[in-house]
Amino acid sequence: MKFSKRQFLKASGAAFAVLPLGHGAIASAAANKSISAPLKKLTDDVVPISATERNARIAKAQSLMQQHNIAALILEPGAAMDYFTGIQWWRSERLTAVVIPKEGEIAVVCPFFEEPSIRESLAVGKDVRVWQEHESPFERIKQILADRKIKHGSIAFEDTVRYFVQRGTMALLPSMQDTSAEPITLGCRMFKSAHELQLMHKANEITLAAYAHVYAQLELGMSQSEVKNLMASAQSALGGSGIWNMALFNEASAYPHGTKQKQTIREGSIVLMDCGCSVQGYQSDISRTFVFGEPSKKQHKIWNMVRQGQRIAFETATLGTPAGKIDDAVRAYYVKQGLGPDYTLPGLSHRTGHGIGMQGHEPVNFVHGETETLKPGMCFSNEPGIYLPGEFGVRLEDCVYMTDKGIKWFTIPPDSLSSPIGQLAPLPI
């Protein structure tokens, strides 16, 4: 049977059932109502990260700083600053920074005229040092360290801090050495709390529900931008923020991150989507691959191979296993299927997965050679795609998290191309 549209009727829980419609078929009134019904916001019950939680994060960071002989930590606006302080800001030539000393209260440096706005999202601490347009913000950092009795030792910079900030700070601290803050920031952010997992679960719930909504509305002749806009609108209506979407059709799906070639949906089209959103700063990342019309034998075969690759990654990801072994296991299976080897196409041209949390891509990755072992609280994408240049690509991506009992799904992948959405996994506890 050929289809011009797919419908989804929401079953109990978060599972989705699929009813294919043949050309010219008329859907039931109930099904039409399901498709056209407005999406309901899913975030009304979401609890933000509290000041108590942020203070506990700072305390953990300070404990790690003492273990690593680091006297102070410098952060610029971004995920790490938000993680510890709640400050949601942007980067410009005017420095806003957070200083976390190994002991005592944190402090914020910002332009004088931005202080009221900075304080709006500052969840912990009260020490905000301002600088005027003709002054150096680095003098304020030096002053903070002096007030905390820090004159010697190492000062750690979060890895995305810009060079002019590192240079300007260290020029005023000749008796100190600079180092990477990664042992501190990763030592905190890599291991998610139960509350963080709940926020990520909600973000994944939104993205999965949006997929079901969009898949039911795919039509012949649709452009990539039309499908992306549908997905963005759906995730927004469901309560997501920080929304991003990718839709690749036909030959363009063989490029993991797309191409400038414009494509439209035709009979037999591969529709590869990679989408996500945030809830209270915590992200989802889900990929789905559909076929519009009757799938070919090759499309079925490749889709099923990718699904098996996901299973192998999931089954290999046991506590204590080096993260690189997950990538190795998937590639070994693909080689047996005549793909690769390594990153050679046709095959898997990217890593099997990446860390995820407040950023879509965080350490550690499922990539060959990664020796970091899997521990409770770590979160990853599981996305072993297959790409056939000049033909099509297939990617299925669902995120997972490690518990003290092993690996768990945020969303359970689909097991059939005829029912390609999957299900929401139980809420983490």
Please check whether residue 418 is in contact with residue 276, taking contact to mean a CB–CB distance below 8 angstroms.
no
Q: Name residue 392's beta-bridge partners.
A: 388
Q: How far is CA 123 from CA 88, 120, 302, 338, in A?
A: 10, 8, 48, 54
Distance CA(358)–CA(85), nearest Å, equals 14
How many H-runs (helices) and E-runs (strands) does the chain carry? 11, 21
Interval 118-149: pLDDT, tens = 999 999 999 999 999 999 999 999 999 999 99
pLDDT at 12 > cutoff 50: no
Domains defined along the chain, listed by start: 3-21+28-34+191-424 (3.90.230.10), 51-189 (3.40.350.10)
Prediction pTM value:
0.91
**pLDDT at residue 259 in the model:** 84
Distance CA(410)–CA(285), nearest Å, equals 10
Distance CA(197)–CA(381), nearest Å, equals 14
Q: Residue 193 has which token pair?
A: 């709390």
**pLDDT at residue 21 in the model:** 30
**pLDDT at residue 260 in the model:** 82
Q: How far is CA 88 from CA 98, 112, 119, in A?
A: 12, 17, 10
**pLDDT at residue 200 in the model:** 98
Assess whether the previous peptide bond of 341 is cis (omega < 30° from 0): yes
For 234-240, what is the mean pLDDT?
98
**pLDDT at residue 429 in the model:** 67
Using alpha carbons only, give the angle 403, 404, 408 rounded to the nearest 5 degrees.
Answer: 30
Q: What is the bridge-based pairing of β-strands 176-180 and 153-157?
A: parallel
CB atoms within 10 A of CB 191: 16
Interval 65-80: pLDDT, tens = 999 999 999 999 999 9
